[in-house]
A and B are shown apart, each in its own frame.
Chain A
Amino acid sequence: MNPKQNFDVSHIRKDFPILSQKIHGHSLAFLDNAASSQQPIKVTQAVKDYHEQDHANVHRGVHHLSHKATDAYEAARDKIAKFINTSSSKEIVFTSGTTEAINLLAATMESKIVAGDEILITHMEHHSNIVPWYRLCEKTKASLIVAPINQKGELILEEMIDLISNKTRLVACSHVSNALGTINPVEEIINAAHKRGVPVLIDGAQAIPHQSIDVNELDCDFYVFSGHKMCAPTGTGVFYAKEHILKEMPPWQGGGEMILSVSFDEIIYNDLPYRFEAGTPNISGVVGLGAAVDYLEDIGMDKIASYEKNLLNYLTESLGKAPGIRLIGTAENRAGVQSFTMEGAHPHDLGTVLDHQGVAIRTGHHCAMPVMEFFNVPGTARASLSFYNVESEIDQLIEGLSVARDMFL
């Protein structure tokens, strides 16, 4: 497509060959984008070209291919830095994904946490933003404090802010909930935490595919996300931290790349951000991530956000009209996701029946068991959108649900 033009979804879909296949004899309706999004040709081609023309290890050899690989890898870092508007590319550390990025922070904070300290998270976090903090608290005898949510699936902001105390060492909060789609008021949370001198980690895994992110404007201390939810290959992710904080953080994993010199008496660690990238990184994946950024920027994140907003409204309205459907997560401000249950049908049975009609959704607890417990459901069905989805796929979902209803009621 010529992306500077208007948003044309039929052209966009041609960039994603995987979407045009039949599943069990039906057109595929891929509505599981919150789990992992698909990759456009531009990304898969960039990865292929890299393997066929540029591959060598980065930051090591003096030969031509090593330079090319290093240039491609560092170009991707610059693209990401610009994409989320950091002050410097040094603030971008590549990881294997959001999970590794959060674990990086939890591990490097450990030496500074003492018994009685507090880590504040929310009730709607993904397990990857619960378990590392739970383990940190367990090791250090700190307390894990959980900010409450309401029946719509929104954070109760005032209560969360009240929970920030002089014992709080970090606030860790999702930008967008993967199970509920709620967009959290992260600006207010960051402001309130900073007033008390508390740093804030934002888990942006579910926000980055749907809206433009400006970490400078947000003023968050850490922002983390995964490549594979924004049209890039799996095994790529980003740990953003403000430079002055990164400088103070102890190294994490030890190995090659993260050092300047090693003897048995002394180790001098590498500069930022390489200090946090021990070992050979996922070079081809990062090249693909850079290509994904180019692709998304060509279309325009604002156009994507506005297209998806209409599509999400259509999804929520269509599900709302379908008989026997209970919507889980009805926050005023949502992105990309609608969870639901059907009376008389377990989410996994729904998933199987829908799959049979070509509709791919996620069913289960969505790695957010505390959210399921809050809504008193064993799991939900979750349809999640990308900018390449169309209304007819939502119609196909609704049609599939009516088949399921006939079967189970």
Chain B
Amino acid sequence: MKNNDLQEVYRKRVLEHSRNPHNFASVNNADLTAKGFNPLCGDKITVYVTMNLNQITSINFQGSGCAISIASASIMTDAINGNSLEKAEQLILNFRSLFNATKINLDVKLNEAKALEGVKSYPSRIKCATLPWLTLQEALEGKNNQVSTE
């Protein structure tokens, strides 16, 4: 393992997000919410999504966890806000593909979320980075189910 791996994980930008997370609030009347829990770390997160038709008009999160999970959630809310449902789902897939071998859609750019790629040097911490995104996916799938029953 290289000496700068640690700096790759805890990049300045990641630490800034973990200290002062964006969109860190609970929302009472959100359209979609989901809770995520990482029993290994004790990371807990709730994601709140407000929709207008197919558009995500606001996204917030609440919870407690390690620097990686909080930074990842904060970066996620910035990346997802204002996007269509389809694009949000593609971003989630692209983010998860940073840590596995799945093929990604290059038209959808992760931008700042790429800062978390360094986590892959620490396999036990990948779940910390992906927890918020998997939780969001669960929230959005709830929406899909709702749509299909209407």
- Assess the B41–A356 pair: CB atoms within 8 A: no
Assembled-state Cα–Cα distance A402/B77 (Å)? 32
B125 at the interface (CB under 8 A from A): yes
Indicate whether A407 sits within 8 Å of B65 (C-beta atoms), given known contacts A348-B41, A364-B40. no
- Which residues from chain A contact B44 at a C-beta distance below 8 Å? 378
- B72 to chain A minimum Cβ distance, whole angstroms, is 13
B10 at the interface (CB under 8 A from A): yes
B66 at the interface (CB under 8 A from A): yes
Assembled-state Cα–Cα distance A347/B5 (Å)? 19
| A-side interface size class | 10 to 19
| B-side interface size class | 20 to 34
- Assess the A346–B65 pair: CB atoms within 8 A: yes
Identify which of A25, A349, A364, A379 contacts B67 (C-beta below 8 A). Answer: A349
A282 at the interface (CB under 8 A from B): no
Assembled-state Cα–Cα distance A255/B64 (Å)? 48
B92 at the interface (CB under 8 A from A): no
- B121 to chain A minimum Cβ distance, whole angstroms, is 10
A104 at the interface (CB under 8 A from B): no
B6 at the interface (CB under 8 A from A): yes
Tell me the nearest residue of chain A to B42, going by C-beta: A378
Indicate whether A348 sits within 8 Å of B66 (C-beta atoms), given known contacts A364-B40, A372-B42. yes
Tell me the nearest residue of chain B to A407, going by C-beta: B10
- Assess the A365–B67 pair: CB atoms within 8 A: no
A353 at the interface (CB under 8 A from B): yes
Indicate whether A356 sits within 8 Å of B66 (C-beta atoms), given known contacts A348-B41, A379-B41. no
**Binary A-proximity of B84-119 (CB < 8 A = 1, otherwise 0):** 000000000000000000000000000000000000
- Assess the B67–A356 pair: CB atoms within 8 A: no
Chain B interface residues (CB < 8 Å from chain A): 1, 3, 5-6, 9-10, 15, 40-44, 64-68, 122, 125, 128
Contacts A356-B5, A378-B42 aside, 12 further interface pairs with beta carbons under 8 A come to: A345-B67, A346-B65, A346-B67, A348-B66, A348-B68, A348-B125, A349-B68, A352-B9, A353-B10, A356-B6, A378-B64, A408-B15
